[in-house]
Amino acid sequence: MEYYSVNGAYHLTLGGIDAVALAEKYGTPLYVMEEDVVRAAMRAYRQSMERFYGGNGLVCYASKAFCCKEIYRIAAAEGLGADVVSGGEIYTAAKAGFPMAKAVFHGNNKTREELRMALALGVGRIVVDNFEELKTLAALASENGVRPDILLRVTPGIEAHTHKFIMTGQNDSKFGFILETGEAMEAARQAIGTLAVRLTGVHVHIGSQIHEAAPFIQAAERMVRFMADVRAETGYTLTDLNLGGGFGIRYTGEDDPVPYAAYMRDVSGAVRQACGQLNFPVPFILMEPGRSIVGEAGTTLYTVGSVKKIPGIRTYVSVDGGMGDNPRYILYGSKYEFLLANRADEAPAGEVTVAGKCCESGDLLGENVPLPEAKPGDILAVRCTGAYNYSMASCYNRNPIPPVVMVRDGEDRVIVKGMTYEQIVENDI
Ligand SMILES: Cc1ncc(COP(=O)(O)O)c(C=O)c1O
């Protein structure tokens, strides 16, 4: 995201609004989401689905990336489904009036309460992750007099190139039934024989922030082959193929993501070809992009406090947020682009370490960050924070979680209020 808009005062603008004015109006830290960017990404996925699969599919926004009521309303308005992974996400979606039949429920350890809630609220598809869950779900479904549609999460044995914490397609994973060992086939047999549920298909998700098309293509081919094998072994034809999410975004110049349309073209080609070769009907396709829908839409604004220069070592520029609102650096050493929103025209004067305010030395937002000479009171903007920032936020050190403001065409509105100190102590006895 080295392209950004600057106004006549050389201030960064977001959705047509001066970012410094936003910081003054709402305070910092502040999450800002550009609605047009979110909607454009949702439309791009939906249009690609129509173009390459003739609309025989559903794009489900992976709401773990950024979850609040408004994003479900936007996803619903744009015709998307949603991937949900917890009772909390299901509850939020339902409260937002999201059409729950278009929700897909994931998780490697869904609780009975969460499964009950999914059944009661009519979640459209439940992705079963393990044998225990299959049994539990079948029992709960019988109790509730419903027969849910389920998919099986399959671990295809693919190692995508990404951080190990967000790699999920390899055999050594906490998620899913392993393809290679025959576990997935055994799960299919058991699910077909479990009349309390209706097995409709399979799901695969190989990881996140992936920049190559090849592992996605390989995963899609393996899944189609597996669907054909299930038909050969059991006579049962699966109709849903959920290809998961994981498409990378451009946090910095080091990232070179595959354009989504090219990904959709190549993967749909691979699915069709595999279906043709195996004489298998082309399935209904589901996809679950999260990061690539909201990531580039987000910018976090902070106020610079102390600037500590350690001669010959480094300069720490400390801001009024950190790992509480953005834990991605401390989790994965993630990289971002930074700029001073109030002096957006200035060239970098050197490299600094941007530090948060929490009591952890690892509470950094970036190292070796090129930045103009930063002074207390400057507004520091971190780009591409729309995904896995607010949704991963905590109030560590009892710092309140900042508000989220949505901007569009020169208008701003709060979509998540900032947490208050009173709310921090609300549940304390
Ligand atoms: C099952 C599943 N689907 C979709 C996603 C979304 O991935 P991304 O945000 O990389 O698109 C995830 C992320 O962890 C996931 O676990």
Q: What is the DSSP string of 217-237?
A: HHHHHHHHHHHHHHHHHHSPP
145-200, pLDDT tens digit by residue? 999 999 999 999 987 766 666 666 678 889 999 999 999 999 999 999 999 999 99
* 3-state helix/strand/coil string of 130-191: CHHHHHHHHHHHHHHCCCCEEEEEEECCCCCCCCHHHECCCCCCCCCEECCCCHHHHHHHHH
241, 288, 291, best to mutate for ligand 1 pocket (most atoms within 8 Å of CB): 288
One domain for residues 90 and 144 = yes
Residue 11 CA to ligand 1 center (angstroms) comes to 34
According to the model, what pLDDT value does residue 168 have?
67
The sign of the CA dihedral 123, 43, 244, 326 is: negative
One domain for residues 276 and 388 = no
One domain for residues 194 and 50 = yes
One domain for residues 214 and 326 = no
For residue 361, the domain's CATH number is 2.40.37.10
One domain for residues 313 and 272 = no
For residue 117, the domain's CATH number is 3.20.20.10
d(CA 81, CA 100): 8
383-428, pLDDT tens digit by residue? 999 999 999 999 999 999 999 999 999 999 999 999 999 999 999 9
Mean of pLDDT values over 42-50? 95
One domain for residues 283 and 322 = no
Annotated catalytic residue 359: yes
38, 85, 208, best to mutate for ligand 1 pocket (most atoms within 8 Å of CB): 208
For strands 298-310 and 30-34, give the pairing. antiparallel
One domain for residues 275 and 337 = no
Residue 338 CA to ligand 1 center (angstroms) comes to 26
Ligand 1 atom nearest the C-alpha of 127 is: 1
Residue 288 CA to ligand 1 center (angstroms) comes to 6
The last residue of a domain, from among 272, 292, 312: 292
205, 384, 389, best to mutate for ligand 1 pocket (most atoms within 8 Å of CB): 205
Ligand 1 atom nearest the C-alpha of 244 is: 3
One domain for residues 283 and 163 = yes
285-315, pLDDT tens digit by residue? 999 999 999 999 999 999 999 999 999 999 9
According to the model, what pLDDT value does residue 1 have?
44
Among residues 71, 6, 64, which one has the least CA distance to residue 41? 71
125 vs 171, more confident = 125
Residue 211 CA to ligand 1 center (angstroms) comes to 14
**Edge-to-edge, what's the strand order for the sheet holding 17-18?**
5-6, 12-14, 17-18
Structure tokens, 382 = 């971190």
Looking from the CA of 80 toward its CB, the CA atoms found within 13 Å total: 31
Angle separating helix axes 131-144 and 183-193, nearest 10 degrees: 10
Q: Which residues line ligand 1 (CB under 6 A)?
A: 62, 64-65, 83, 106, 205, 208, 244-247, 288-292
What's the domain count of the chain?
2
One domain for residues 308 and 204 = no
Residues 6+ apart with CB under 8 A from 142: 196
One domain for residues 236 and 280 = yes
According to the model, what pLDDT value does residue 235 have?
98
According to the model, what pLDDT value does residue 161 have?
67
- Look up the domain containing 234 and give its range: 35-292
One domain for residues 47 and 190 = yes
61-114, pLDDT tens digit by residue? 999 999 999 999 999 999 999 999 999 999 999 999 999 999 999 999 999 999
Residue 212 CA to ligand 1 center (angstroms) comes to 16
Instruction: State the pTM of this model.
Output: 0.96
Among residues 122, 197, 137, 204, which one has the least CA distance to residue 168? 204
205-264, pLDDT tens digit by residue? 998 899 988 999 999 999 999 999 999 999 999 999 999 999 999 999 999 998 888 888
According to the model, what pLDDT value does residue 164 have?
63
3 vs 70, more confident = 70
**Mean pLDDT for the chain overall:** 95
Using the 8-state DSSP alphabet, how is residue 68 labeled?
S
CB burial of residue 425 (10 Å; 0-12, 13-18, 19+): exposed
The last residue of a domain, from among 292, 308, 338: 292
Selecting among 60, 67, 358, 359, the annotated active-site residue is 359
According to the model, what pLDDT value does residue 108 have?
96
The sign of the CA dihedral 384, 361, 64, 255 is: positive
47-65, pLDDT tens digit by residue? 999 999 988 999 999 999 9
At residue 272, the 3 state secondary structure works out as: helix
According to the model, what pLDDT value does residue 163 have?
64
Tell the residue nearest (CA) to atom 10 of ligand 1: 246
One domain for residues 328 and 248 = no
According to the model, what pLDDT value does residue 159 have?
76
The last residue of a domain, from among 239, 268, 292: 292
Residue 246 CA to ligand 1 center (angstroms) comes to 5
